[in-house]
Structure 1
Amino acid sequence: MKKILSIDPNNILALIARIALGIVIFPHGAKKLLGWFGGYGFEGTMGFLTGDAGLPYIIALLVILIEFFGALFLIAGFATRVAAFGVLVNFAGVVITTHLHSGFFMNWYSEPNKGEGLEYFILLFGLALIVLITGGGKASIDAAIAVIKKEG
């Protein structure tokens, strides 16, 4: 437990990695929970995930919560390793169930019916692993908590 909370409060690279990861994940969660960015909102997303995608209700709920609140936690640097782990597991599930067969490239223009490949997810996993290893870093709530604990 102590390792989960320990961080270097001056690590700027951890800051960059967690902010980048949070910014990239946030629109996915906002689409699913709030209907922003052309999404279907909570009810529409739950209907799709539990109906068409066949996920159990609790897993569909976790997908929405991890993508929305996990992104906010990453941006703020709060419970950073837990959020990064949630994002990593969530998108591993996405890759295994949906994108593994699509090859490497995103295929948006060259082969639009082939599906999205793995290149985006490789970058996402790389950032998530960096954040999982380094923690929140500079300008994170985790760092502020660590300083308070150290002083108190």
Structure 2
Amino acid sequence: MKPSLTDLERTDSTKMVPLILRIAFFIVMFPHGAQLLAGWFGGYGYTASMGFFSSIGIPYVVGIMVIILEFFGSIGILLGLFTRFIAIASLCLVLGMILIVHIHVGFFMNWNGNIKGEGFEYHILMISMLLSLAIAGGGKDSLDALLFNKNK
């Protein structure tokens, strides 16, 4: 039998761990998306963000997808809406961040400000959170559970 969308979004609504991961992911990712889209939290906003992406060779459409995923995807994860889909898309985003921007700096974050850029150790934590959400789904208090856990 071929899996349907509801099979991919069905989740165990008694599990608390995905809820904790969803909240933590939102707390970390939403401010980054808000910096890119709206210029909140000391960010530069949409136009400057797109200019930066262009300057490092990221295509326009990919830049838009990054901003949408970081801002709206983090809200979707918080709400537990299409959790697995957004987690997998965000996983691709984080891997892209590592490969395009951070791998050249190395593993460690730049705590002392003595090198240009940041390492990818933070991204490893994001990858583990996203893989967990992709496997478990939204869990407790998720819209996925409300919308997709109905009996066939």
- Global fold match (TM > 0.5): yes
Corresponding residue for residue 140 of structure 1: 142
Which residue of structure 2 lines up, in the alignment, with residue 60 of structure 1? 63
TM-score norm. by structure 1 comes to 0.91
> What is the CA–CA distance in structure 1 between the aligned matches of 2:101 and 2:129, rounded to whole Å?
21
Cα deviation code 1:1-33 (max 9, x no counterpart)? 343112101110111112111221101100001
5 Å matches for 1:1-152? Answer: 1=4, 2-50=6-54, 52-109=55-112, 112-147=114-149, 149-150=150-151
Unmatched runs of 5 consecutive residues or more in structure 2: none
3-state SS of paired residue (2:28): helix
Matched residues, number: 148
Separation in 1, partners of 2:130, 2:14: 19
Alignment check: 8 A CA contact 1:108 1:115 kept: no
Q: 1:118 to 1:46 in 2, by over 3 A?
A: same
SS of residue matched to 2:85: helix
Q: Which amino acid aligns with 1:84?
A: A
Question: SS where residue 89 of structure 1 aligns?
Answer: helix
Residues 45-66 of structure 1: CA deviation (Å, up to 9, x unaligned): 111112x111111001001000
Matched residues, percent identical? Answer: 44
| Runs of 4+ with >6 A deviation | none
In the aligned structure 2, how far is the partner of 1:114 from the partner of 1:102? 7
Task: Give the C-alpha shift of residue 140 in structure 1.
Answer: 0.6
Structure 1 unmatched ranges of 5 or more: none
Mapped to 2, the partners of 1:114 and 1:43 lie a distance apart of: 23
**CA–CA distance in 1 between the matches of 2:10 and 2:130?**
17
Worse-matched range after superposition: 70-79 or 2-11: 2-11
Deviation at 1:114, TM superposition (A): 4.3
Relative to total residues, which structure has the larger helix share, 1 or 2?
A: 1
Specify the SS of the correspondent of 2:103. Answer: helix
Contact 1:31/1:39 (<8 A) preserved: yes
